[in-house]
A and B are shown apart, each in its own frame.
Chain A
Amino acid sequence: MAITFQLNGKKQTLEVEAEMPLLWALRDVVGLTGTKYGCGMALCGACTVHVNGEPVRACVTPVATVAGKNITTIEAAVETKLGKVVREAWIEAQVPQCGYCQSGQIMSATALLSKNKKPTDADIDTAMAGNICRCGTYNAIRAAIKDAAQKLA
C-alpha cells in the first residue's frame, strides 16, 4: 500500500507492506542507512528516529502507523542547530568507538536536549536507558550531552 509521511522535511511516499517496520522502509526502500538495526525488539535503541519529535524505535514501528507524521533520521537530525552542537560535542568527547550504536544514541540525546535544556544525571540516565553500547562509551556520552547542554544554554 502507498504510505505518505514527511521524511527529514520532505514528502515521502512509499509503496510497501503496511506492517513493514519503519526501520526497513528507511534502510531497504528509501536507502537511508544511518538508522541501524541492532535487535528488532526495541531493546537496544540503535534504530531510534524521531516521530513528531519523539524518540521512537523504528524497528518495531509499522510504517503504516507513521502515515502523515514527521520523521527525522540521524542524517537530518545532526544538521539542525541543536544537532550540530550535539554532533560536535560527540566529536569533542571522542565518543564513537565502533560507532554502530551512535546514530541511535545521538537521536535519543537530541530528543532529550530539545525538551530539557539542563538535563541532570538522572534525566540523562532515563533518556538514554534504551540505548546499548557494546564498546562502553557511556561516560563519554554523558560528558557529550552535558557539554552540548552547556553550549546550547
Chain B
Amino acid sequence: MDITLLKLLNTPNSSVNKGQNRRDFLKTSALASSGLVIGFYLSGGNKIASAQQPPKANASPNAFLRITKDGAVTVQVKHLEFGQGVMTSLPMMVAEELDCDWTKVRAELAPANAVYAHTMFGMQMTGGSSSVINSWTQMRTVGATARAMLVSAAAQKWKVKPEQCRAENGVVIGPAGQRAPFGQLADAANKLDTPQKVTLKNTKDFKLIGKPTRRLDSAVKVNGSAMFGMDITAKQVPNLHVALVKRPPAFGGTVKSFNVDKVKGIPGVTHVVQTANGVAVVAKSFWAAKTGRDALVVEWDLESASKATTAMMQASYRETALKPGLPTGKVSDGAALNNLKAAGKTVTAEFEMPYLAHAPMEPLNCTVKFDGDSCEIWVGTQFQTVDQGAAAKVAGLKPEQVKINTMIAGGGFGRRANPASDYIIEAVEIAKQAKVPVKTVWTREDDIKGGYYRPMFVHRVTAGVDAAGKIAGWDHTIVGQSIIGGTAFEPMMVKGGIDSTSVEGVTDTPYEIPNMNVTLHTTKTGVPVLWWRSVGHTHTAFAMESMMDDLAKQAGKDPVEFRREYLAKHPRILKVLNTAAEKSGWGSALPTGRARGIAVHESFGSVCAHVAEVSVEKGQIKVHRVTSAIDCGLAVNPLSIVAQVEGAMVFGLSAALYGKVTLKDGVVDQSNFHDYPMLRLAEMPKIDVHIIDSGASSPTGVGEPGTPPIAPAVANAVFALTGKRLRTLPFNLDEVSKA
C-alpha cells in the first residue's frame, strides 16, 4: 500500500477527523476494577471529544494497555499481525516509555474499533509499511501516560512528590528507597486523572527500542497453538459450519442457474446458497463442503465476463507503449526526446511484468455469526474499518453492530486489504442466508484463480547518454491497470487520470535525471487487481534500476559509480548504496561463472539496496548470496528489520524467478503451487542485512522496501555475467540459455 496516497484516505464510517491533530486521552472505566487501562484517540476537535466524555465509538472496553494486579502488562495491538512482527514492535514502544518489566508484556490483537484508527490514514488498517511509523508517538505516549499515573499513585501512597519517584523495570522507586511494583499500583493509578501532557524520552535514553528483541509470539508459533482465522472451530463458535464457494470461471461471470441434485445426499452438506459471485455449499466440515462443491453443477452467464488473454494483452500493451500516454507531472516539454536525438548512445527497452497472486500460506477465510441484529466476524484482515462498513451493508446492520475479531494471519501481502472487502462480504452473505455460523474457506485454487492480482505492466523506456557519459534524456511510458480506479478511493487517490500507485518509483525517482518525461496509459481488462507487497515499486524499480545499469554500461562506467553521480543530493541513499556495495565486496574478484548486480530503491520512506551474486547453469539462474543494506530511520527492533528485509527479498525473488499468472479467454491458467511455484529452501541465497545507523529520531517503513530492488539486482548480475539483458518478469530462462 502506498503511504502518500493513503494519507488522502478517509472513510465515512470513521469518527476520526484526520484534519485535527489535537490528541486526547481517555481512560476507560470498564475494567477499572482490574487495574489500569489506558485508551487513546485522536479527537475530532469538536465538543463530543473531551477526555471525560469520549464519543460513543470509543467507549470500548478495549484500550491500548491493561496493567493487572499480577503485574502483567497487556498491549492491544491495533494492526494485523501477519508476520511483520507488530505484536512485538508496538509493545516495545509502549514498554520503553512505561519502564515496565519486558518479560511481563503480552500482546493481543485489537478488534475493529475507531479508537484503533491508523493515525495517518484515519481508519483501522495495516499497510504501506506504516504500522510502526504511525504508532511511534501514539504507543510511546500510551506508555508514558501510564507510567506517569503509576508514579503519581506511588507518590500519593508515600506522601512525596511524583518528581521524587522514578519507574524502573516494572517498579516505582521512592526517595527513601520505597519500592512498589506496577501491579500493586494499578488500581490506585486508575482512579487518578489522566495527565493531558507527558514528556517522551530522548532517543539516547532508550533501553528497549533499538535493542534486538525476540518476538512475543514465537512460543505459540512453534507448537501449533497460535490461532489463525482458519483455526476457528466449533470450540470457539458452537455449531460452526464450513462453506466453499463455486465462483465463475472468468471474472465478471454470473450464475445463470445451478443444479443441486448431485449435492443432495452428500453426508454433512446442509445448505446450498447463491451469493453475488457464485454458489456456496455449506456443510459440517471442509471436506463435506468440498465434496459438495465438486458435485454442484452451475451454469454460468459469461456474456459480460472478462475475455482477457495474456498473449493478446502483451501485444496490445507493447503497442500502446509506443505512443505517449497521459502526462504524469514528470514532463520535460519535449526536451527529453530532443535531447535523446542528440545523445550519443540511446537504449530503448521494453519491460514486461505479469499479473501476480499474493498466495499467502494461509488461504483466505472468514468466519461469520449472524443473528439478525448483530454480526460477529473472525478474520485476518488488514482493513478492519472498511470491512466493518462493507459487512454491515450486506448484513443490513449499522457498522457498530458488526464486531470484527482480528485473527493473526498466515501472510497477506496486501490481499487482506481489499477496498471491495470481497472475502468478508461473501462470508456474510452466506451466513445470513444459511442462518448458521459459517466459516467460508478458500482453497488454494480459489486463491490463485481468484483475482485481485498485482497488475500486469509494460514499461517502454528510451534513454541515452551523451559523449561525456551523462544522461541526456529519459522518455518513459507506462502501461497497466489502475489499482485504485473503480474503488471507493478513486476520487481521492487518482489525480488527473494518474493513479500514482502506477507510477510511484519512476515519477518520484531520487536520481537527478535531466529531461525526464513520464507518461501513463491506464488500461481496463476486467481482471481484478490489488496492491501486492510494495505496490507500484514492484514493477517501477525493475524498470528504473535495469535502465540505470544499462546506461552505466553505455557510459562505460561502473554501475555503482554511475548511480552515485545522480545521487549527489541524496546522502541517505548514497550511504545505503555504498554500504551494500562495500559489504558485498563490490569490485573484488569472484569465482569463474559468477557475477554481481546491484540495485537501490527508495520506498515507504526507507531506502534498500541489494547486491546479488549469481551464476547461470543450464539456463537456470542461481542466486548464491544477497548483501543488503537498509536505512529505515530509527531501527526499533533490529531482529524484525533483518527478518523483514530477508523476507521481502525472498518474496521478490520468488516472483522474479517464477511468479506469473496468465489468462486465456478470461480463465486463469494457474491453480496451485505446481504451476505458481515458490522459492524453496535449497534455492535460498545466503543473505547479510546491514541496517544503517542513521541517527534518525523516528522510524520509516520496513515490511516492503526489501522487495523492489531484488529483481533488478539479479537481472543486472545476469547481465554482468552473460551480457544478456533480462527485461521480462519472471526471468525467461530461454533468454538466459541463449546467452
Chain A residues close to B by CB (< 8 Å): 17, 20-21, 24, 27-29, 31-41, 43-44, 46, 73-75, 78, 87, 90-91, 94-103, 106, 124-126, 128-129, 131-142
> Nearest residue in B to A17 (C-beta to C-beta)?
B267
Known contacts A87-B223, A136-B651, A138-B684: A24-B285 contact under CB 8 Å? yes
Docked pose: A10 CA to B330 CA in angstroms: 69
Q: Which of A32, A41, A90, A138 contacts B444 (CB 8 A)?
A: A41
A24 touches B221 (CB 8 A): no
Q: Does B122 have its Cβ within 8 Å of any Cβ on chain A?
A: no
The 4 closest A-B pairs by CB, nearest first: A34-B224, A100-B410, A136-B650, A99-B221
> Nearest residue in B to A128 (C-beta to C-beta)?
B681
Known contacts A27-B233, A29-B285, A136-B650: A124-B681 contact under CB 8 Å? yes
Return chain A residues, CB-CB under 8 Å to B678: 132, 134
CB distance from B677 to the nearest CB of A (A): 9
Docked pose: A38 CA to B218 CA in angstroms: 20
Q: How many A-B residue pairs have CB under 8 A?
A: 181
Q: Does B672 have its Cβ within 8 Å of any Cβ on chain A?
A: yes
Docked pose: A9 CA to B219 CA in angstroms: 23
Q: Does B176 have its Cβ within 8 Å of any Cβ on chain A?
A: no
Q: Does B128 have its Cβ within 8 Å of any Cβ on chain A?
A: no
Known contacts A136-B651, A139-B684: A102-B674 contact under CB 8 Å? no
A100 touches B224 (CB 8 A): no
Docked pose: A148 CA to B481 CA in angstroms: 48
Q: Does B105 have its Cβ within 8 Å of any Cβ on chain A?
A: no
Q: Does B275 have its Cβ within 8 Å of any Cβ on chain A?
A: no
A38 touches B84 (CB 8 A): no
Docked pose: A100 CA to B284 CA in angstroms: 24
CB distance from B626 to the nearest CB of A (A): 10
A134 touches B411 (CB 8 A): yes
B222 touches A90 (CB 8 A): yes
Chain A CB within 10 A, most for which of B227, B235, B285:
B285
A132 touches B673 (CB 8 A): yes
Return chain A residues, CB-CB under 8 Å to B285: 20, 24, 28-29
* Residue contacts A-B, CB under 8 angstroms, 9 given: A27-B286, A41-B673, A75-B225, A95-B218, A96-B215, A99-B83, A100-B360, A101-B410, A138-B650
Q: Which residues of chain B from 313 to 368 have any CB-CB distance to chain A below 8 Å in the complex?
A: 359-363
Docked pose: A90 CA to B46 CA in angstroms: 51
B646 touches A134 (CB 8 A): no
Docked pose: A138 CA to B681 CA in angstroms: 5
Chain B residues close to A by CB (< 8 Å): 82-85, 214-215, 217-228, 230-231, 233-235, 242, 267, 284-288, 291, 359-363, 408-411, 413, 441, 443-445, 639, 643, 646-651, 654, 672-674, 678-682, 684, 686-687
B287 touches A98 (CB 8 A): no
A44 touches B361 (CB 8 A): yes
Return chain B residues, CB-CB under 8 Å to A33: 224, 227, 230-231, 233
Chain A CB within 10 A, most for which of B217, B648, B654, B682:
B682
A98 touches B286 (CB 8 A): no
B83 touches A98 (CB 8 A): yes
Return chain A residues, CB-CB under 8 Å to B411: 98, 100, 134-135
Docked pose: A135 CA to B647 CA in angstroms: 5
Q: Which of B230, B651, B673, B687 contacts A37 (CB 8 A)?
A: B230
Return chain A residues, CB-CB under 8 Å to B214: 91, 94
CB distance from A79 to the nearest CB of B (A): 8
Q: Which of A21, A90, A100 contacts B362 (CB 8 A)?
A: A100
Return chain B residues, CB-CB under 8 Å to A135: 83, 361, 411, 643, 647, 650
A100 touches B228 (CB 8 A): yes
> Nearest residue in B to A106 (C-beta to C-beta)?
B222
Return chain B residues, CB-CB under 8 Å to A32: 224
Return chain B residues, CB-CB under 8 Å to A98: 82-83, 360-362, 408-411
CB distance from A111 to the nearest CB of B (A): 15
> Nearest residue in A to B687 (C-beta to C-beta)?
A139
CB distance from A126 to the nearest CB of B (A): 8
> Nearest residue in B to A122 (C-beta to C-beta)?
B682
Known contacts A37-B286, A98-B362: A74-B410 contact under CB 8 Å? no
Return chain B residues, CB-CB under 8 Å to A90: 218, 222
Return chain A residues, CB-CB under 8 Å to B235: 31
Return chain B residues, CB-CB under 8 Å to A136: 646-651, 679, 684
> Nearest residue in B to A83 (C-beta to C-beta)?
B223
Q: Which of A39, A43, A97, A129 contacts B647 (CB 8 A)?
A: A97
B410 touches A39 (CB 8 A): no
Docked pose: A91 CA to B359 CA in angstroms: 25
Docked pose: A128 CA to B681 CA in angstroms: 7
> Nearest residue in A to B214 (C-beta to C-beta)?
A94
Return chain A residues, CB-CB under 8 Å to B223: 34, 74-75, 78, 87
